[in-house]
Amino acid sequence: MADDTLNDVLIDRLRSFLSKPNENLDGIRSAAARLHSRCASQDKATRERTLERVWRRHDGAIPLVLSLLESVRDQVTCCSLAGILHECVSPRAGTSGKKKAQNHAVKYRSPALSQLTSLNATQLIIKLLMQLSGKESQISDMLLYELVWIIAQLSQKDSKFSVKVRLTGSARTFHNILRLHYNNPKLLYPLLIVFKSLSRNVTTSTVLVKDGIVSTMEKVIVSIGYSPSPKLRLSLNVMHSLTRSSMFLYKLPNYINFFFSVLIYVKYIKLIYFIELCCTKMAKEDFVPLLLRIFERWERYNGKMRLRILTYTIITLKHLSNTKIGRKAIKSSNGLNLLYKFCVLCPNDRTYDSLLPRVASIIGTCMDKKVLPIDTTGPVLFSLPVLKTENSDTSDNTTGSGMRTSSSRETTPSADGSVAESFDNNDDDDDDASDKTQESDAGHGPYAIPPPILRDMDDLCQYAAFFQENVVTSNQEARTFEEKCIPRAKSYQEFGTHGCDSLGEHRDYWLINDRDGLRSDSYLGSCHLQHQEPSNDENSFWQKEVERRLNNYMRTVRSHSSCSCYDVYKREMTWKASSDPAMNSNLQNSLHMMGLTILSDIPKHSSVHYAYCAIASKVNTVYPVVKVAYPDMVGGDGSGQLYPLHIKDRKVCRAKLMTSVERAVHPHLLLDRVVYDLDGLIQQDAIAKGNDSGEKHLYNIDERRVGHRDLLKHHLLFESRFESGNLRKVVQIGLHEYELILLPDVNSVKHHQWFYFEVSNMEANVTYTFNIVNCEKQNSQFNYGMKPIMYSVIEAKEGRPGWVRAGSDICYYRNNYQNLHGRSRSWYLTTSFSMTFPHDNDVCYIAYHFPYPYSLLMTQIWKWSLSVDPSLIYFRTDCLCYSLNNNETPLLTITSPDMESNRIKDREVVFLTARVHPGESNASWVMHGTIQYLLSNAPAAIMVRNKFVFKIVPMLNMEGVINGCHRCGLSDEDLNRRWSRPNQYLHPVIYHSKGLIEYCARIMNKAPFMFCDYHGHSRRKNVFLYGCCNAGSWNQVDRSNSDDPVDYLMLPYLMQHFSKAFNLQACNFRVERMREATARVTIWREFGVKRSYTMESSFCGCDQGFYQGYHLDTIHLKEIGANFCEAMACLKDEGGWKADITPEEAARLAGLTSKEQLDESPPMSEISDNSDFSSDEDFH
C-alpha cells in the first residue's frame, strides 16, 4: 500500500511541474529518477506495482511522461523519462520466465504500445532524435540507447512507422546513428529492429540505398562475425528486404491497371530502379562473397537459428541472382559449387524442403541460358480477318490456316477498336485465378462503368429464327406476329443476299444457318461465405425454406409417379394436332429439325463409331489431323470409379529436384534423342499433300495395332495429331524417361497446360517417366493430389473401357528452361509423373483431364436427336453462327411442347453456356449431364421443362477445343473477356450468343430468368458458384442500390443439398472491376439478370463432403449437371415462396451480404496459390 502511495505522489509531483517544466528541472529530474528506479527495480513486486500504475490509461501517466519528454531540454532528465517508457514497452517488463513474460506482454505491454502509438509517440521520439543528433554536442549514449529501444518496439507495433519516417525525413538520421554505432553491442540490436521495418517499405529503402546503407550493412555483418546470433539473423533479414526488388517488379504488372495516374506509375518505375540499384551496389561492393562465407558455414549453425540464417541468406542470393552483375558475382565467388554442395548435403528434413527449390532456382538462374529446343512460334499460324476500320463490313484477307503464315494480329482491332491483346494465363471467371487483365476502356473513378453498346432493334429481330418455339397458333396472334416480324425478316433476307457481298470470301462466316446475315454497328466486397458463420436464425431460415421447397418437389414427384406422367402431354399434343392439321403430319420431323449441316447426311441407323468418324472428317482444323482418338470415338467416359487423391511424397519431389539440378550442372549426361517432332511432321505432311485437294476421311485402327511392336524402335512412340490433341515435341533423356513439350494456343506463344497424346510400343510393368517441361502456372493441383488420366485400348477390348486416374511420383517444380515470352528472367515449370502400363504393346492415351472434343459433342447431339420423343419433349438444334475457321456453333433449345394451359411463349428463358476456355473439358461433361437430364423422364426434368425454355450453347470456343488450346481461341484472346464488347468478326460466337440474350431482353421484353456459364477450376477443389450482388460490387453506384439476397443465394443453398460435390463456403458474389467484361458480370449488368452465375468444377476432386479425398470422374461431373437441374426445379414457384418471406427474414438474409462482412473478405485475386485457387474468370 505504501508503494502505491509513493507512486501516486511521484506522478502527481511530475504533473505539478508540467506547466513550467524548464523552471523546475531539479524537481522533475528527482521525481523522474525515482520513478524510473522503481520501474527498473530488482524487486519484482515493486516493479510490477509501479509499471501497472504507469500503464493505467485513465490515470494519464504515459501522456504526462511524453509531454515532459517533449518539453524538457536536460538530457539527464530526458534519460530518466525515456527509461520509464522503455521499461513500459520492454519485452520482459515486470516478469520472469518465458510463459509469464508472454502473459504480461498480452496484458500490459501491448496496451502500452497501443497507447503510445495513439498518442503519436513515434513522431515525438523521431523528432527528439533528430534534434539531439543535429546538435554540435553529442547525445549521451544512455539517452540514445533508451530512445532507440523505444522506437524499436514502436516500429513493430505501428503499422504507419515507415510512412512517419518518410514524412519526417528521418531515414538518413537513423542511418547516421547506425553508421556511428555499428560497433556498439547495446545499440546495434534495437537499431537492426528499426531497419528491419524501414527496409520493408519501398520508399524508405530507396532513400537508404541512395544513402549507402549497403556499405554500412557490410560493416555491420563483419563486426558481428559469422557465428549464429540474433544480430546476424536480423542483419540478413534487412538485406533480404532491401534486395526484394525483383519480387516487387514481378508483382507490379498485376496492379498497373489500377494506377489511374501516369505520375503514380512513373513514380513506381523510379522506385523499382532504385531498389534494383541496391542489388547492383551489393554486387559491386563485394557483399556477395560475404554472404557466401556465411552460407558456407551453415553446418556449424544449430536449431532454428540455422534455418533462419539460411533462409535469409538464400533469399538474398536469389534476389541478387536476378541481376546480371549479381549472377556474375555469385559465379566468380565459387557460389555455384557451394550451392550445389548444399543441395547434396541438405538434411532430409521437412523444414528444409522450402530451401532446396530456392537453391536450385539460384543455380538455374546463374547457369548459361537454356531455352526449349523449339521455335518460338507455333508450327502453324492462323490468318485472322483484317478489318480496315472498327465497324468495317469488309475484309481483305481470306480466313484459313496455313503453315508458317504471318498472323495479322498486329493490325487486328479488338472489340473496343484497339489492337487485340493477349491475356495472362489465369483461371476463368475468377480464376484458377486470378485475372490480371482488364478492359482498356473500363473507365476511371468510383462511378465509371463502360456504357453498353446496344444493337439496332431491327438487327436484333433477326434472332427470331432461334425462337421458333414461340410461334403462336391462333389466327389473330399469327397475324400480329406476321405484321411485326415478317417484314423485318424480309429486309434482312435482302441483306443476306446483297448486303454481305462486300464481305467477299468471308460472307459465309457471318451468316446464320446460311440464311440470314447479322451485322453490328456495333461490390468491392463479397459474400464470401467461408469467412462468416451464419447465425442460428439465418440457418433456421435457410433450412426451413430449403426443406419446404424439397417437400413440394417430392409431392410433385409422387404425383407423377402415381399415374402416367405423360398423360397431360398427350392430351395437349392431341389438342394441338386437331387444331393445326399441318402439325399432325410434320410433328415428328419438326421437333427433330437438324439445323446443323455437319449432321445432315449421317444415316439414322449408323453406328456411333461411324457417326463420330464422319463428323470428325468434316471438322476444319488448323493443325493437321491423321486419325480420330479411340477414347473419343467410343464415348470418352471415365471408368466410373472413385480414385483417391494422390498423396505427395516429399522424398520423391526432392529427388526429382536434385535430378534437375544434376542435369543443369552436367548436361552431357542426358541421352537427348528426339522421338517425336510435330513441326517436322507438319512440314512433311504439307509436302506430301501439296497436290492433294481431296476430302479427308478419318478413322481409327487402334484395335488392330495392339499387340504389334516396332522392332526397329526401342523407345515409346507418340502421336497427337487428332482432335483436341496437344503434344509438340518429345525428347528421350534416359532409358525410360522423356521430356515432353506442349503446344501453345494457336497464334500465341503461351498458355501451356492442356495435354492429350497417344503412347504405344511400350513394355508391361516398366516404369516410364514423363516430364512436361513448359508449364507456366506457378502452382498446380498436381502438387495437391491430382493425377493425370490414362486410357488403355486393350483394357477397353477386354470389357473394361474408360479413362482411369493413373500415375505415381507426381511432382510440379521449376526447371532450368527460360521462358523467353514471360516476365524478365522467368522459367518454365515441370509436371513430372511416372506410369507403368499394364500390357505389352498397348495403345494408350494420356491426358490432363477427360477430353470432350467438338466431334464428341456433335455425336452426342446426333444421338439425342434420335432418342427424343417429340410428343413429350421439344428439342431443336440450330447453327447459331460459324466460327473463324468455318465450323458450326450448335444452339440447343429444350422445353416441353406447347400446350393450351402452358404456352411456350409464357415460360421463362434460361441461358446456359460452357467451354469458353477450351482446356476446361470438365465444363463440357457437366453440361453433358445437364442436357442429358433435361431430355430424361425424371420428374424434376419434367418440372423444369414445363417452367423454362432452355437455350444452350454447349461449346463457346470450339476452335480452341478442336486445336487442343488451353485458354484462348484462334484470335489469341480470352473470349471470357470479350462479352462487354464482342467483335462480330473476331468473336462471332460470343457476339451472337450475347445477341440472343439481348433479343430476349429487349425484343421479347423478358429478361432471362437465369444465366449460367460452366467452367473448370485448376487450383481449387469441389464445385461452387460465382454470382453477382450489388453489395459486393466495386462500383459505388451499385452498392448504393439494394437487392434481394434470396434471388442469388437460393440456388447455391439448393445446390448444397442436391450435389455431394458442392461447397457452399467457396461461393462468391463479388463484382470486381477486372471482371466487368466476363459473361457473368456483363449479363448481370447489361440485361438485369439477377441470377447470373459461373459454375466452377474442379479438375482434381473434393476436399469436403461425400467425395472428400477423391477425384471427380465423368459420372460425377454429369451428376453435377443433373443436380443443377434438380435445384432449378425447386425455384419454379418463385412468386409463392418469395411472398412467404417475412420482413424479419429478409433483413437477416440481407445481412449475409452486408457491406461490413463483404469488406472483411479479401479479394479473390489475393488468394494465394496454396489455397488452390484458379478459374473461368481468373485464368484457370
Q: Is 1096 a catalytic residue?
A: yes
Task: Report residue 1003 as a C-alpha cell.
Answer: 425484343
Place of cell 479488338: 414
Residue type, 1169: D
Separation of alpha carbons 430 and 1067, rounded Å = 11
DSSP letter at 1161 equals S
Which entry of 723, 758, 1076, 1096 is annotated as an active-site residue?
Answer: 1096
SS3 at position 568: helix
Per-residue exposure over 942-972, b if at least 16 CB sit within 10 Å of its own CB, e if not: bbbbbbbbbbbbbbbbbbbbbbbbbbbbbbb
Residue 939, number of CB atoms within 10 A of its CB: 18
**Comparing C-alpha atoms, which of 85, 39, 41 is closest to residue 64?**
85
Say which residues have a Cβ less than 8 Å from residue 676's Cβ, sequence separation at least 6.
Answer: 717, 718, 719, 727, 729, 730
How far does CA 587 lie from the centroid of its chain? 48
Say which residues have a Cβ less than 8 Å from residue 568's Cβ, sequence separation at least 6.
Answer: 899
Task: Report residue 562 as a C-alpha cell.
Answer: 402415381
- Stated as kind and residue range, the H or E segment containing 866 is helix 854-867
SS3 at position 899: strand
Helix and strand counts by DSSP (H, E) for the chain:
45, 24
> Phi/psi class of residue 964: alpha, beta or left (left: φ > 0; alpha: ψ in -120 to 50)?
left
Q: Do residues 757 and 726 lie in contact, with contact meaning Cβ atoms separated by under 8 Å?
A: yes
Q: Do residues 15 and 64 lie in contact, with contact meaning Cβ atoms separated by under 8 Å?
A: yes
Residue 446, number of CB atoms within 10 A of its CB: 10
Say which residues have a Cβ less than 8 Å from residue 547's Cβ, sequence separation at least 6.
Answer: none
Contacts 24+ apart (CB under 8 A), 553-559: 553/940, 553/943, 553/1126, 553/1129, 553/1130, 556/939, 556/943, 557/939, 557/940
**Comparing C-alpha atoms, which of 170, 166, 236 is closest to residue 202?**
166
Separation of alpha carbons 863 and 891, rounded Å = 15
Q: Do residues 539 and 545 lie in contact, with contact meaning Cβ atoms separated by under 8 Å?
A: no
Separation of alpha carbons 1080 and 1071, rounded Å = 9
DSSP letter at 1002 equals I
Residue type, 1096: E
Burial of residue 744 (CB within 10 Å: 0-12, 13-18, 19+) is buried
Taken as a whole, the chain contains a residue count of 1180
Say which residues have a Cβ less than 8 Å from residue 64's Cβ, sequence separation at least 6.
Answer: 11, 14, 15, 18
Residue 1042, number of CB atoms within 10 A of its CB: 11
Separation of alpha carbons 764 and 475, rounded Å = 72
**Comparing C-alpha atoms, which of 94, 90, 14 is closest to residue 51?**
94
Say which residues have a Cβ less than 8 Å from residue 942's Cβ, sequence separation at least 6.
Answer: 560, 565, 896
How far does CA 982 lie from the centroid of its chain? 23
Task: Report residue 767 as a C-alpha cell.
Answer: 516404369
Task: Report residue 566 as a C-alpha cell.
Answer: 405423360
The DSSP code sequence of 399-456 is: -EEEETPPP-GGG-B-TTSSBP----S-EETT---------TTS--STT--PPP-PPP
Which residues belong to the active site? Answer: 1096
